[in-house]
Structure 1
């Protein structure tokens, strides 16, 4: 008589435990293996690092301190060139765990040619990025690498352009597909054109047949733990950065974007459900002149847009479809003069009755020249809870946080002069 109710109690307990477990999984939507179950923890951690770096700058009279937690992590070391791999410890946001080639050997690129993508020459960038072992890739000198076809990476690689003026351009440009742990730092990527219908070596033992690429600057497809930092991207055929097909654990930081239409796409298409697990941090970037839209445009995933500087746009800055989450914190949005393009946000091809449920938040953002952000969503669940322990630092610090955006040594004025006047003349020599 006593055993029967006890059995019933145990049965009810395991049923409740099972339901609780399922609800937790549904709540955090663990679609992808590298997806963080509590994105707000990552958001709070980044804000804590920004606040701590700005406080250190106020307390210590060191010219090397900027308040930018990534740069302050390594730039104050006068011997950084002898300890390049420290950079891998400086990541923030969802891509903070990207190791790149940390622990691997230094590979010095000495040859800027790209004559045979199926059998790359030792000493070239293509030969370096396809290797099966972790490598920290640096450059012997300034160089322009005019690609013959897309540059396909293998996992555990860092491309470190510090100390040289490195340009990657030409056909296909950079492809990170089905790989993990890549850092791309301090290079120019520009004027990328479609290519393909050819065979390209993707590892020392494998040559793959490739269809036609879109002409993106950097494509991340089914990639995890990827960090793009201090790059300058402009004037490609399709997107400057595309993150698609279940990629997650991505940070795009300290980069400079200019002279382009579709800047950054985060999500393959509205029907690609694996992108619900996509988590991307967009931080400390400068979105400069001549940009039209997609800064970024998201689908499904969680996108933290923090401490970026937006210098006008032609259509919109933040856009999306298929219910992405946008957490916008401490950015400066400067609207264009066109009275019809003042809105920061755009819900693409979606009725208000639908997008009103999407979680799009603005916190601590500064709106300039009539810019305005239309928020939406209840934000009541834990996944989308508003940060309370670490509030976004005022966007009044944005000049300080983004002053070195893009490739080091290319300050904003020099970017403008180079992209609009010098570069077109240089490229005419390749035609």
Structure 2
């Protein structure tokens, strides 16, 4: 059976809703995964960070960094025998993304991508489209140049640990209308627009894909997604974009470099289904050659915690449709340009409108003249809710994020 599926470009938002129905997607029903009380998830993140740091200070873990995700698995020299344990180490809104934890190990042995409709067994594409849960690993170092979007099925983990794996020079990863996906330990860069081609999305379904933007990771109407310890740079559109009702997402421990519009979270200002979007952005390093959108948010709740911002040219965090921004314990190093010191930007919105948006900064380290403009409840002198559960001191951000990006893990050695 052939089912038509359509890739929707962020630059073609005007036709998105029409295409959704033609693609078999549901434009009206809610995407599962949003929680009623996002502040409770924020508190859980703080507890995890605090506990991990306490163990580090007590030398409880010889490799303890204070990073709760890493300290959950990296001390184990037999990590390669317990790969699926990683799925239990997530934090934040994407903490319940189990990927292929309950499935078999699938080994990528073939870096080719010759046929997007009938991929060979042993290729990455063959693994990600299967219906059953799979934990996908790589036999050796490889560079994979995808001819068309890599359309993932639910309950999949792509785990690059133990190999130097680059997805570059062609299409990249699309997570559309699925759930429970973990992307870990990949170098994803130089992604290009592709499309106007048939692409398989499951063993029983393939269809026509229109032109895709060239995002490194495109999340579309999906939930329970975790992108961790990847190195991302220099793609045609975004590095990580999440749109069309996506939620329950954690973006952690990644190293972002050499890119303009880094991360777009939200389809359009008028797409109110994105009010259910909830994203945790933690322990990432936003490094050299970045310009803006780290992230840019439209609707929803965004917890930005213990990230290291060492470069931007325009702004770091932007918004345009009343998102809630909770910035805690980050290090913001402003550029030398005297007109680009502000961390925040309300995009094409009058102050009379954005002054009620809840944007708050707690415990952030603002360097070289950087400043964060709070608003709404976040600008109130009486706001002290998180004072007792504040994010780990921004003075520790350097050590917490020192290993951001894809790790050089080798079997038999703590990673």
The normalised TM-score by structure 1 is 0.86
> Secondary structure of the equivalent of 2:360?
strand
Q: Deviations over 1:278-319 (max 9, x none)?
A: 000000000000000000000011000000000120000000
Alignment of structure 1 residues 111-150 onto 2, 5 Å? 111-150=110-149
Unaligned runs of 5+ in 2: 1-28, 410-415
Give 1:378 deviation, angstroms: 2.3
Matched residue, 1:101 = 100
CA distance in 2 between counterparts of 1:210 and 1:106 reads 29
Give 1:389 deviation, angstroms: 4.4
Matched residue, 2:167 = 168
Which of structures 1 and 2 has the larger relative contact order (alpha carbons within 8 angstroms, sep 6+)?
2
Alignment of structure 1 residues 170-319 onto 2, 5 Å? 170-319=169-318
Matched residue, 1:363 = 362
Give 1:107 deviation, angstroms: 0.1
CA contact (8 A) 1:240 1:262 kept: yes
CA distance in 2 between counterparts of 1:222 and 1:54 reads 35
Matched residue, 2:34 = 35
Q: Deviations over 1:348-378 (max 9, x none)?
A: 0000000000000000000010000000002
CA contact (8 A) 1:31 1:276 kept: no
CA contact (8 A) 1:379 1:386 kept: no
Matched residue, 1:92 = 91
CA contact (8 A) 2:191 2:214 kept: yes
CA distance in 2 between counterparts of 1:264 and 1:362 reads 20
Larger radius of gyration: 1
The normalised TM-score by structure 2 is 0.89
Give 1:31 deviation, angstroms: 6.0
CA contact (8 A) 2:360 2:379 kept: no
CA distance in 1 between counterparts of 2:385 and 2:129 reads 42
Q: Deviations over 1:90-122 (max 9, x none)?
A: 000000000100110000000000000111010
> Secondary structure of the equivalent of 2:43?
helix
CA contact (8 A) 1:44 1:389 kept: no
CA distance in 2 between counterparts of 1:138 and 1:131 reads 15
CA distance in 2 between counterparts of 1:397 and 1:231 reads 21
CA distance in 1 between counterparts of 2:30 and 2:112 reads 41
CA distance in 1 between counterparts of 2:371 and 2:326 reads 15
